[in-house]
Amino acid sequence: GDSVTQMEGPVTLSEEAFLTINCTYTATGYPSLFWYVQYPGEGLQLLLKATKADDKGSNKGFEATYRKETTSFHLEKGSVQVSDSAVYFCALSNRANNNDMRFGAGTRLTVKP
């Protein structure tokens, strides 16, 4: 079945550092890909999405490009802030599977001043 694998955390960075969180997926067909962010004690918020190959999702300085050839959707940000500290989840939704969503395990990011 469909699955998502993302890099294990925790990840600790200094403010203004470059961030990459790797995400790869296994799916039949052409899934849509998402990154969600969860701040402490809160639910999940959609950060960005991409629905087809080579699409780039972007929001709040974060970017991710849908790479079908490498089945990847890595999250990047050029300069992280303390306020970016959260847990990030990579996810996919596949029309072939009734659009059920599959989540990665989550990566906890801590940004230190």
CB of 8 to another protein, least distance (A): 11
CB of 16 to another protein, least distance (A): 26
Residue from 53, 11, 30, 37 nearest 104 by CA? 37
Token readout for 34 is 């998402």
15 vs 54 by CB, closer to another protein: 54
36 vs 66 by CB, closer to another protein: 36
Token pair 């990847």: residue: 72
Token pair 């925790």: residue: 10
CB of 11 to another protein, least distance (A): 14
Reading phi first (left if > 0) and then psi (alpha if -120 to 50, else beta), residue 99 is in: left
Residue type at position 46:
L
Chain residues in the site for another protein (CB under 8 A): 32, 34, 36, 41-46, 49, 51, 89, 93, 95, 99-101, 103-106, 108
74 vs 107 by CB, closer to another protein: 107
